[in-house]
Structure formats: C-alpha cells, structure tokens
Amino acid sequence: MARDARTDGGWTDDELCGSFAIALNLNNPSRLVELLEKYQERLSKLIGENVATAIRISALARSGDVVASKGLLDKSSALFSDYQKDRLEIEIVRASGQNPIANLIDLCNKHSEPMGCGHSLLN
C-alpha cells in the first residue's frame, strides 16, 4: 500500500516503515517517539494500533517522559491484555529509576502464562 511520496509527511509507507525499523533496530527511543507522534495514525494502520501504541509507551518511558508514558498507558489501556499492561507498567517503573523487582514478582504470581517470568523482563 504505497502512497504518493508528496502526501502525508512526504514518505511512502515503505519509507516510513524503513525509518521506523531503523529507529527500532538502533534502540533510539527519542526517534521512535518523534515518528510515532507525527505518524501515529499511519503506523497504527501498518503495524497495528496496539503494537504502535505499546512501542510509543515504551519509547516515551525510555526517553525520560515517564509521565506521558503513564498517561498514554492509562488512556489506551483497552488495547492491551492485563499481562501486556503489567509488562508496560514494569517498563515505566524501570525507566523512572525505581527497582522493578517487586513488580516482576507480582507479574509472575498474577499470570500463569509460560513467559510470565521470562528472562527478557530481567534484562
């Protein structure tokens, strides 16, 4: 679904996805926030609203805007399962400089999903 490069921000969908993928690969939360603020609607259509919003919440937290991250999670909580919300909360806690160990233990106790206590949460 390519778009005319002169419309909607000057990028085709492929170019937008490419820039987004580069920002993800480089772990550049500030660039991700910038792209998602400018192209939220298009990226939501391309990668899914819940995926785009989860990445934006995480990127906001990791770029230092914990308040905006928490606000966006609260506003968009209907997009996520309880498990996904808890995982995003842990990212916000970690980004705020607090120790997420208590949250991780709660997550493990609360959810019976096999990956509930996955090692990726501890990195």
pLDDT in tens, the chain (123 residues): 444 444 556 889 999 999 999 999 998 999 999 999 999 999 999 999 999 999 999 999 999 999 999 999 999 999 998 889 988 998 898 888 887 777 777 777 776 655 545 544 433
Q: Is residue 118 part of a domain?
A: no
Q: Is residue 22 part of a domain?
A: yes
Q: Provide the number of structural domains found in the chain.
A: 1
86-104 exposure pattern, b = at least 16 Cβ within 10 A, e = fewer: bbbbbbbbbbeeeebeebb
Contact in structure between 25 and 51 (CB atoms under 8 Å): no
CA dist 83 and 107 (Å) reads: 8
Q: Is residue 112 part of a domain?
A: no
- In one-letter notation, the amino acid at residue 112 is S
Q: What is the pTM of this model?
A: 0.77
